[in-house]
Structure 1
Amino acid sequence: MTDHHQSTRGEPRVALVTCADLPELDPDDRLVRAPLAARGIATEAVRWDDPAVDWSGYDLVVLRSPWDYALRRDEFVAWARTVPRVVNPADVVAWNTDKRYLAELSAAGVPTVPTAWVEPGQDWSPPADTGEYVIKPAVSAGSQDTGRYDLADPEHRELAGAHVRRLSAAGRVTMVQPYLGAVDTAGETALLFLAGPDGLEFSHAIRKGPMLTGPDPGVAALYKEERIDPRTATPEQLAAAVKALTAVPGGTGRLLYARVDLIPGPDGGPVLVELELTEPSLFIGYADGAPERLATAIATHLARD
């Protein structure tokens, strides 16, 4: 049994935070453990909601796969505020776990997917046009409770309304966005940034294929399977990512990692889908040297105090 209260012979101890469904971490996250061990840094996979854990016994607490927080977001944020040396920091977690941050970034001039917000109890009808739309909650992880609706289809229009009502009845804010067709051809590009000596540095990029094939069935799932491939980021994508990161409240100097998800907009220019600063998959298994770079980023944070 792991002792969460005692240091391991003076080695720095790092908690890699996960959830009950992934007690040994997501397979991609496991790749950082060997390069950390090579640096003399001990790691443990620990559930964020395990009441037996003494979080003060760790030199750093790294959020990795606590993907069950969406329906317990207030509890998760409150927990993060109690944890010493958690990364990314608790105030970033509070800001980033509610996707209404997209409205702030849009107001700051970051190109984002146009989004309508539906508050719980607010009446909503599908838009009059007949394009495709995405409906999802403002607090979610891993494309949970997310559906794609073709509003030219009367059945889809009914299902879209039912989806919004289901989220509203659960007290959840709903996001309604036009579906950007480029995701079916160009795919979504995720740019990964990791901490370096002078702040966040670009590490690598991947392509995610289309995930949404139709309406949300209303069946809970921790995450949806993704088609992932390595990708070379373009200068335009890098510039868009940096612009989004520049708008993060409090700056990026405190961050261990960031993932910027982009899709080509109607004019072909990259637009922000999400800025993932809480528990993003980092896809370190898809780029040479990425596990070592993440280990270096963690070592950099350990050395700050």
Structure 2
Amino acid sequence: MRSIALVTAIASAGQDDDLVPLLDACTDAGLAAQIRAWDDPSVGWNRYDAALLRSPWDYTQRLPEFLAWCERVSAQTRLINPLPVVRWNTDKHYLDDLVRRGIPVVPTRFVEPDMEPLPALQAFLAEHAAAAEFVVKPSVGAGSKDAQRYSRSQEFAAANHLARLLDADRSAMLQPYLPAVDEHGETALLYFGGRFSHAIRKSALLRLDGADVPQPPATEKIAARIPDADEVVLAETVLATAVEALALAQPLTYARVDLIRDAAGQPSLLELELCEPSLFFAHATGSAERLALQLARTVSVRA
């Protein structure tokens, strides 16, 4: 029986709702699966035929350490998704790579730690004069942590937020806030082995507040949904482009493509999650089983 480690983090204990159903599905698919934390030094990773990144969600605060761990583990077993994917996808500068390859992406300006925050913000606002609101967030981050939505009248508060990120030696992102998310939310499409599995709708998380401090996000609401045809076309184009950009010989074992509609009503890429995405098994019957069967196929093929 092939063995696989479902990789979480000590800090993520009890937070990953996908782990238990995936553990059961792996057993049914003939895989000996165990949940292991990437930052547990007692784990012998060479004992497993593969290590599947599931919820190492503290990597955003420990990226160099996490990437070094990924490199070590890749020399001992099969890392899923593989190391080049993890290196590329853990920093959202990959969005620039996809833009250069013709993918419609939510307009993004990256601000680097050696740049002055206020001039960078003012240049962004001038470039997007029609945007009533915008978002500041780190380029290495998960979910809505350290992300905030601002109106144009909150330029000073937004510049302070930007400065805090840059002072911590973190690259930041500026994006116009697309109003369609308030009505339609985000669409997340899940693919296993390059095949569409299911999709969900996520409600808007970032709220607008007048305070000069980052505000907590709203409660996230998630529901199953059937994606529109143009969303499927874009998601599959994004995945094919990523596989080409990374020169991968095989389709990605798992991927989540997060889309949002722009002012013209066209779908745009918000994020491409290839390292540790929530997979929302609870909203799609059979989805955990589909991933487990894909894992069994992946692990059976020589790396």
Given candidates 272, 282, 287, the residue that maps to 1:285 is 282
Q: How far apart are the structure 2 equivalents of 1:25 and 1:301? A: 26
Alignment of 1:55-134 (within 5 A): 55-83=45-73, 84-125=77-118, 126=121, 127-128=125-126, 129=129, 131-134=132-135
Q: How far apart are the structure 2 equivalents of 1:201 and 1:246? A: 12
1:276 correspondence with 2:277? no
1:302 correspondence with 2:299? yes
Relative to 1, partners in 2 of residues 1:64 and 1:194: Cα closer, same or farther, differing over 3 Å? same
SS in structure 1 opposite 2:18? helix
Q: How far apart are the structure 1 equivalents of 2:18 and 2:231? A: 24
SS in structure 2 opposite 1:207? strand
Q: How far apart are the structure 2 equivalents of 1:298 and 1:91? A: 19
Verify the 8 A CA contact 2:207 2:218 in the aligned structure 1. Answer: no
1:148 correspondence with 2:149? yes
Relative to 1, partners in 2 of residues 1:105 and 1:38: Cα closer, same or farther, differing over 3 Å? same
Q: How far apart are the structure 1 equivalents of 2:206 and 2:256? A: 20
Q: How far apart are the structure 1 equivalents of 2:13 and 2:36? A: 7
Aligned-pair distance for 1:32?
Answer: 1.2
Alignment of 1:187-198 (within 5 A): 187-195=185-193
Verify the 8 A CA contact 2:157 2:213 in the aligned structure 1. Answer: no
Equivalent residue for 2:200? 206
Verify the 8 A CA contact 2:9 2:55 in the aligned structure 1. Answer: yes
Given candidates 175, 181, 184, the residue that maps to 2:182 is 184
Please, which runs of 5 or more residues in structure 2 have no aligned partner?
none
Aligned-pair distance for 1:226?
Answer: 2.2
Q: How far apart are the structure 1 equivalents of 2:168 and 2:106? A: 25
Tell me the matched-pair count: 286
Return the structure number with greater helix share: 2
Equivalent residue for 1:35? 25
Alignment of 1:41-60 (within 5 A): 41-60=31-50
Relative to 1, partners in 2 of residues 1:32 and 1:140: Cα closer, same or farther, differing over 3 Å? same
SS in structure 2 opposite 1:157? helix
Partner amino acid, structure 1, of 2:233? A
Verify the 8 A CA contact 2:8 2:57 in the aligned structure 1. Answer: yes
SS in structure 1 opposite 2:223? strand
Verify the 8 A CA contact 2:26 2:292 in the aligned structure 1. Answer: yes
Q: CA RMSD in A?
A: 1.9
Alignment of 1:217-228 (within 5 A): 217=213, 225-228=219-222
Fraction of identical pairs, as percent: 43
1:256 correspondence with 2:257? no
TM-score under structure 2 normalisation?
0.89
Aligned-pair distance for 1:28?
Answer: 2.3
Verify the 8 A CA contact 1:70 1:139 in the aligned structure 2. Answer: yes
TM-score under structure 1 normalisation?
0.89
Please, which runs of 5 or more residues in structure 1 have no aligned partner?
1-10
SS in structure 1 opposite 2:256? strand
